[in-house]
Every structure is written in C-alpha cells, then in structure tokens.
Structure 1
C-alpha cells in the first residue's frame, strides 16, 4: 500500500508537470492523440471533487454542462471512457500539480511565517472508503490510513500518503516524509508521536519541532517536571536503543530538549516538548498559541471527509482511490487559496472570515471554465473577479478562543452501503 505515496521528494517553483510526467508507466503513449477526454480535461474533471453528491456519470454530465455554461446536463463522455482514461494517468501527476501549487503559494507569499519559521503540522486519519466487493486487479482496501503534512496558516495540505492500517504507524509515516521539511520549518506534533528515536532524528536533521507529551509518556523527566510546578525546564531524554538508532540512522546519545508547561482553556495541564531553546525569542507564553495552530490539520481532515466526501471514490482499484484522494486535496487547496485571495482583495478585517463552505459551493461550477477557459476562449479574468467578489460578500464574525469540545461517541461517518445519486 505504501507504493501509492503521493508526490516527488522535491519540486522546483514554476515546474508544471508535463504530459510525459502524467503518463502511467504501463501506458507510455497515453494522451498523445486527440480524444473526447484529453489530459487537461481529465485532470480538471477530477479536481472539481467528484462523487460529492452524485454518481460518476452524473458528475461527468454536470461537468460538461458547466464547461459549456449550460444549466442542463451534457452527456459527452461515458463512465467507462472516464475509467479507461484515468487508468492511464500516473499516480504522481496530481500530487506534482499540488507541489507546483504550494510552490506558487510560497512564491506569492500566501504562506506566512511564525518567528521566521514555516509551520507544518503532521497527523493521520483513518479512512473507510465506500467500496463494493469486486474482482478487479489491485483492488483497494476499504480501511486505510491517510497521513498528511499541513500548513496551518493558509490551510494548505503540503503532502499526503495512503497506508495500510497494518503498517508500522504514524511515526514511520512521518519519518518517510521528513525529506519534505527543511531547517526553516517548525513541525507541530500531537502526543502520539513522542519517542526517543524520533526526537534524535529531528535533532540530527536540524528540524525544529514542538510536540505534546503526556505525564504517562514513559519519560521520568516529564513526570518530574510535572510534579515540580516549573513553567519550563531543559532536560535530557534517554538515548534511543541501539536497534532504533541503527534502523533510523540516528544518534544513540541522550537528547537535550526543552519542556514547557501549558494550560488549556479547560484548565488541563499539558507539557510541550521542543528543541527551540532561545527563551527570549520563544518565550514559554508563546507555545500555547503555537500548539493550538496544529488543530488546523484536524479541521482539514474533517473538511475533506464531510464537505468533499473524501471517502466516496470513483473507482475500485487502489490507483483510482489514490487519484481521488490526491485530486480532492488539490481541490481543497484551491478553495483555500481562492478564499484567502477574496479576503485580501476585499480588505476584510481580521475579525471577519470568509465562509469556506460557501466558497466551495461557488467555486465548483466555475472550476471547469476557470481551468480550461483559456483553451475555449472564455473571459476567465472577469469570471474570477466576479467569483472573488461573491465569496468576499459571504463572511462571518470570528470569535477568538472559542472552544467547541468534541462530543464523545461514534464519529458521524456517512453510510457507505449505497451509492450517491
């Protein structure tokens, strides 16, 4: 399952994936002839977030209706033709497009810095895809884990990967993505990631981090710190064991870290572990707000699952599932950038926030024309300007430090026993 990882390790700004890069290795001549569903149209179709409310055929007919700016459905491509075309699309094509999109967002300064550092949150979420029993080759498993690296400021998913639920765990998934990070990044982690070898790896690679640790984490120094009542303290973590140090090629020496006490709005005492030792630049008081920014990735998973129906897929193979996940991540990133642009162009105050649910609804029918309009002679700039004005007019009042605790019980996953229609 790990072979369905998204994206290359590095991408150059402005390096848009070519037709050659988009071809599946089993189809080296794909997309070379003129078809009803050429490469650009196929990718644009998938980026609209298919299978959110309709069947695959209804999504196809709606897409071509939107492309021709008609109210009625247009039946131009069959569901079987779409399945054949998407089978020829490389698994890395859409993730490379997302890499290019993130690079452009960085270039255009959509990604802010916190004390000069780019914040990156890491987490994973369990997926249950709506799949029926089949005999197709390389069929996907219904239960998988989606791991992601997320930029909390602009609400952009940096990278993602699908994994078998029986794989090694979230720490291993993070380790496989560490090449995406640089010394200018600050990694935000929940309490499930704390372990000796991961701290050693992050220190060896000069990756800055802030992770939550529990009193029951197994570290004596953390329990002693909790009993001491101190606000912060620099301690030494025990060295990783020899096997972990060999497996992950990290130092087997004790690791120096800083512990900071934090009190949640509900009064819960938390301990944050970091390798940011400069107490003048990074005072103990700033870590509460910093750790709270990690919550953006939790909201991103919820948004992808429920607003974009991430668990409703358009195919039964693992390739189709991976493509759908990658496409909906790009779709969500596009919506985030459109909302940011609308907010900035309208010069809205910080207390007003764009309604992202409305932005998603407004963007979907125009996305085919916005992405393909240059080829069909449409006035894309005017359409985009009207869209931004429309989105900027739908805002809500943002209240700081508003707490909405999770309700205990079963998560509200949609019933996957029937197709959407």
Structure 2
C-alpha cells in the first residue's frame, strides 16, 4: 500500500508546484494564478474539478469546501462566478497533461501489469451528448461529440482521452494518438479499425497490436475469408498494399504488411479471427490470444462507468473549453478512483470471485479528495477510506454475458442535475 499512497502524495505535491502552474495557464492569460492566496487558487480549482462534478456548480463548491473542513454543514466559500472566471484562465490541455504525469507515476511505481513483457492498451471511441442548453457564449460547445480513449485494462485507468467532432473517424483518432504509445505496448482493437494503411502505420511506429478482423461485410480482408475457409488455427499472410491516397495522407509505407492471423472459437461456437504483428508463434502462442483480446472489453466498461456513474455527459459550463475541462477532469477522477481501489487490495487481495465496487469507491473518495490533495497530512484519512472500500465488494461470476440492447439514447438537460 505504501507505493500507492506515495503516488497520491506525489500527485498532491505536483498539483501545488510551480512547474504545474506554469504549464496550466491559458495562453490568453499569461499572468494567471501568480497571486498567492485567494479563495480559489489553482490547486483548489483543479481539486474541485477532479472530485467529479455531477451537481450544480454552487452545490459542488459548497460541498467541496465542507469536505475540506471535514464538516457536515455546507460551506459557501466561493461563488459560481468566481469559479467560472478561474476556469477561463485554465488551459484546455492542463488537466490532460496532469493525467499524463499521473499515469507516468503509476507506471514508474510498477503498478501496471504486463502480458509477456507488453503493456496492454485498449483503444475505442464513444458518442457523447452533453447536457447543453442554447446559449450565445463565445466558442460555445456543440451538444454531440465523440470521445476517443486509450485505456489500460490492467489497472483500469485511461492513458489518454480526447474529444472530437462527430465527422472524425475512429481510425483518424487513433492515428493522432500513436505518440502516446511505445514499443513495449500492445494495442487491442475491435473490428472498426481494420484497414491496410493503419496496419502499415502501426508497423512503421513500432506498435504491437491485436485486432479483430472477422468482418463479413464489404470492409473485410480477402486473406481473412480464405483463412476462415482453410480451418487452420493460425497463419502468416501478407496484406495488400495501401492505396496511394492513404499513403500520401498518413505517410505510411506503400508496401503490403506481413501479419499473423489467429482463429478463436468462443464457448458458443462462434469463430473470431484476430490479426497481430506478433509473428513469433513460440514467444506468443496462439492459444493465449483469446484471453488477451478479451481484455479489450474493459474499455467498454470504463465508458459505461464514466457515463453513468460519473455523469460524463453532465457539464458545468457552456463553452468548448469548459466541456473539455469537465471531460478531462472526470477521466482523471476515474483514474484516481482506480488507484484507490488498487491500494485497497494491495496488502490483502480479495477472496476469489469478489470485486471492488467502483461506485462506492467514488462515494468514499469524493469526500476525502479535498483533504487528500490540498493538505499535507492525509495518510491516516486515506488508510481509513481504503478500509471502507475493501469492506464493500460484490460477487463476480465469470462467463456471464448480457446482449447489448439497442435503444434511443436520452438527452441530458442542464435543468436535470443530481442533488
């Protein structure tokens, strides 16, 4: 548990450092956050936002400062207008950079597990409909946007996440995030990413991948269809060359790429085909790829947790900057919860079949985050909170599946806030 608490302590110190303050300012406010003191300095502003804002701004602020003073009665310390003025001086990249720093600390502490020496990274996108009302604010946000994320299944943390216009495709989003990946990562991708140019770009970047490719429609690969008919468990094939337009647009190699196909048969008899650039069958046996690819489902669960339990689509402002800040803050909030859950079970693992309740973990952590991030002596409070988290678990049954229901997605309105 000591290394987990150390990560929390280092995060709190970095939040209050001059280095973070210098990088957190909006370019239009070069002297922001320089004055010492004030009712809402930069560390307090960030702490309010990463505590998971789901209610009205006034309610969140009053509750935050009540938790900071460790009292039950709400405290009206800062107005909504002061919060809005402070956040306008915060760069849209400040919280994502803070998340990058946090993930580096978690990885450096050895908390991210490996699969045969490789770090698992799942990639996916999800559609968001923010609870926005009509307004005339400058640079107003659009209601519907897409979120793309790189996720670490082993620690249940988001490596990086970005908002995009709905016109941007998932492959383009992934291409713009390749710099977040390293040569010791393996990228887990679903069927929406199969493309010859993307395989060439991943090989050029030195990124390992495991991609599901058993599409029966127009977008499928001919070599995959031949492989399914062959009945073989695995095969090394060469894809066709990317078309010249993709080579020009993405700067990928113009030659066909050599890949390995692996057949997976599910418990209900369905055939899945996975494509990978891990060609060494001895170092990476094909029997392990089914379980490897199954880890990709954790990013689906993460989006569900963020949307429904952290109210990802609820925003506290109407501008695009405010929406970006809220989005990034809830990603970081979820990562802090994941670290708390890891810390809770680090000394004494849970009994077989039991899992930490992340919803309850958020309830516990939200009340101590102000003290944890803004004071110097929070170790005892954190340890007591971790004991509460481990006391509330649920039973998980392996092998259960629930088909996804196709239904209309309701719109969240600003007037419908949690209380």
- Which category describes the TM-score, using the shorter chain as reference length? over 0.9
Q: Which consecutive residues of structure 1, in runs of 5 or more, have no partner in the other structure? A: 1-13
Q: CA deviation at 1:247?
A: 1.5
Aligned length: 400
Q: CA deviation at 1:269?
A: 1.3
Query: Contact 1:259–1:273 (CA<8 Å) still a contact in 2?
Result: yes
- Please state whether the residue corresponding to 2:375 is helix, strand or coil: helix
Q: CA deviation at 1:206?
A: 1.6
Q: CA deviation at 1:417?
A: 5.8
Query: Contact 1:118–1:185 (CA<8 Å) still a contact in 2?
Result: yes
- The within-5 A match list for 1:191-270 is 191-213=191-213, 214-216=215-217, 217-270=219-272
Q: Does 1:79 align with 2:76?
A: no
The CA distance in 2 between the partners of 1:350 and 1:88, in whole Å, is 48
Q: Does 1:416 align with 2:413?
A: yes
Per-residue CA distance 1:95-132 (angstroms, 9 max, x = gap): 11111110111111110000000011110000000000
Q: Normalization by structure 2: what TM-score?
A: 0.92
Aligned to 2:360: 358
- The within-5 A match list for 1:103-142 is 103-142=104-143
Aligned to 1:367: 369
Q: CA deviation at 1:350?
A: 4.6
- Please state whether the residue corresponding to 1:160 is helix, strand or coil: strand
2:401 maps to which of 400, 403, 411: 403
Query: Contact 1:346–1:389 (CA<8 Å) still a contact in 2?
Result: no
Aligned to 2:378: 380
Q: CA deviation at 1:281?
A: 1.9
1:43 maps to which of 26, 32, 46: 46
Aligned to 2:156: 155
Q: CA deviation at 1:403?
A: 2.0
Q: CA deviation at 1:72?
A: 1.2
Q: Cα 1:184–1:126, aligned 2, differ >3 Å: closer, same or farther? A: same
Query: Contact 1:187–1:207 (CA<8 Å) still a contact in 2?
Result: yes
Q: CA deviation at 1:171?
A: 0.4
1:393 maps to which of 391, 394, 399: 391
Aligned to 2:64: 63
Q: Cα 1:55–1:417, aligned 2, differ >3 Å: closer, same or farther? A: closer
1:275 maps to which of 257, 274, 277: 277
